[in-house]
Amino acid sequence: MKILLAGGAGYIGSLLIPKLLEHGYEVGVIDLLWFGNHLPKEVKVIEKDLFDCQQADFEGYDQVIFLAGLSNDPMAEFSPAMNFISNGAQPSYLAYIAKLAGVKRFIYGSSCSVYGYTVNELYDEGSPVTCGYPYGISKLQGERGVIQMQDDNFSVIALRQGTVCGYSPRIRFDLIVNTMYKSCMVNGKVTVNNASIWRPLLDIRDATNAYLRAIQADQSISGVFNVASDNYTVGQVGDMVKDQVEALTGQKIAIEIKNIQDFRNYKVTWKKAKTVLGYEPKYTVSDIIADVHKHRDEYGDFEDDSYYNIRTFKKLKV
Ligand SMILES: NC(=O)c1ccc[n+]([C@@H]2O[C@H](COP(=O)([O-])OP(=O)(O)OC[C@H]3O[C@@H](n4cnc5c(N)ncnc54)[C@H](O)[C@@H]3O)[C@@H](O)[C@H]2O)c1
């Protein structure tokens, strides 16, 4: 089976692609390489803006996975117009040309950030989506745009991912657990911005398993699926990171609790993904830290701009 990864050279794609190769899939990548290319050498990477793609670029592929766009709140807020175009319109356009090209399935990397600020209820895919900030709204638009193209010959699966964390060859230190780890290593302390806020977290290895389950699902399956490893309060995450870094390094880590207002607060159930796709998470916050720490010699300067999407994005002047 041939799979095209749109935005496949990013954080998730750089761990997902080696896994797909391991499973015998043929892969192709179209990406602007904003964060470089950390993919295995044998992968065919076309450096190209996805907006410039036509039907012919997608011909011969069985499935397309969308991992592009602006992938966090700071980027979306820095460039709201580009955010709405890249996260809202772009996936719809790509699903449209994929369908014309005879692709059988389109998998959209969506986000639990569509849920917004919720009050202590476990949200499923039928729960209200109340986000009022650019990133969440645009991810929801992208999701709705692609889902409505689904029919008997064109399956569409949207994975609403929790905040992804852990090691990838294209590492990011702007994602909650990874940021806390970096802060322990650089400043000897964990900063908790708001201890009571809930977040579903997704170990990047669980994320790659979710994509694999979506790829392998029966052709009749389409729909929106929450995927997370577990739900935690930010306070819980801070304590777990502190304990694990102390255990791994023998260094004492301080903890700083702030009371910064957050506009996102949600916890989700992934029961539908388990029942329909066979997705089962395996990893905890301690596992994430252990994995990121295992690769510590690769990072060099933790403050390198390429580890922070917003810093790289501002320099790109796109
Ligand atoms: N990382 C997370 O915590 C998380 C959580 C929920 C959802 N998501 C979604 O999953 C997807 C992948 O996330 P990630 O962390 O791997 O993102 P990333 O920012 O690391 O990678 C995005 C990739 O897309 C490419 N790209 C962007 N616009 C492009 C264009 N017009 N043409 C060609 N290439 C383009 C970039 O060069 C980059 O390699 C995103 O759509 C994101 O919104 C991510």
Q: Tens digits of per-residue pLDDT, 86-118? A: 999 999 999 999 999 999 999 999 999 999 998
Q: Cβ(51) to ligand 1 under 6 A?
A: yes
Residue 314 CB: number of other CB atoms within 10 A? Answer: 15
Residue indicated by tokens 């390198």 = 304
State in Å: Cα 310 to ligand 1 middle: 12
The response to whether residue 16 sits with its C-beta less than 6 Å from ligand 1 reads: no
- Segment 197-242, tens digit of pLDDT: 999 999 999 999 999 999 999 999 999 999 999 999 999 999 999 9
Q: Calculate the dihedral angle through the C-alpha atoms of 147, 25, 162, 191, rounding to the nearest 10 degrees.
A: -150
Mean pLDDT, range 55-81, rounded to an integer: 97
User: What span, in angstroms and rounded, lies between the C-alpha atoms of 76 and 216?
Assistant: 32
Q: Is the CB of 14 under 6 A from ligand 1?
A: no
132 CB-near residues (< 8 Å, 6+ apart):
116, 263
Partners of 232 in beta bridges: 199
Distance 37 CA to ligand 1 centre (A): 13
Q: Residue 153: its pLDDT value, please?
A: 97
pLDDT band at 266 (very low <50, low <70, confident <90, very high): very high
Q: Which atom of ligand 1 is nearest to the CA of 66?
A: 41
Residue minimizing CA distance to atom 10 of ligand 1 = 109
Q: What is the dihedral of CA 293, 19, 108, 128, to 10 degrees?
A: -50
49 lines ligand 1 (CB under 6 A): yes
Alpha carbon of 155 to ligand 1 centroid (Å):
21
CB of 310 closer than 6 angstroms to any ligand 1 atom: no
Q: How far is the CA of 314 from the centre of ligand 1 (A)?
A: 15
pLDDT, residue 252, reads: 98
Q: Does ligand 1 lie within 6 Å of residue 11's CB atom? A: yes
Could you tell me if the CB of 79 is within 6 A of ligand 1?
no
Interior angle at CA 207, CA 172 and CA 12, nearest 5: 35
Q: How far apart are CA 18 and CA 35, in angstroms?
A: 18
* Radius of gyration of the chain, Cα coordinates, nearest whole angstrom: 19
pTM exceeding 0.85 = yes
Ordered domains of the chain (ranges, CATH): 2-316 (3.40.50.720)
Dump pLDDT digits (tens) for 62-73.
999 999 999 999
Question: How many whole angstroms separate alpha carbon 189 and alpha carbon 236?
Answer: 15
β-pairing verdict for 44-47 and 26-31: parallel
Relative to the CA of 165, which ligand 1 atom is closest?
3
> Measured from the CB, is residue 86 less than 6 Å from ligand 1?
yes
- For 23, residues 6+ apart whose C-beta sits below 8 A from its C-beta are 212
Both structure tokens of 158: 């949207």
**pLDDT, mean over the chain:** 97
Query: 318, 311, 307, 314: which is closest to 36 by C-alpha?
Result: 307
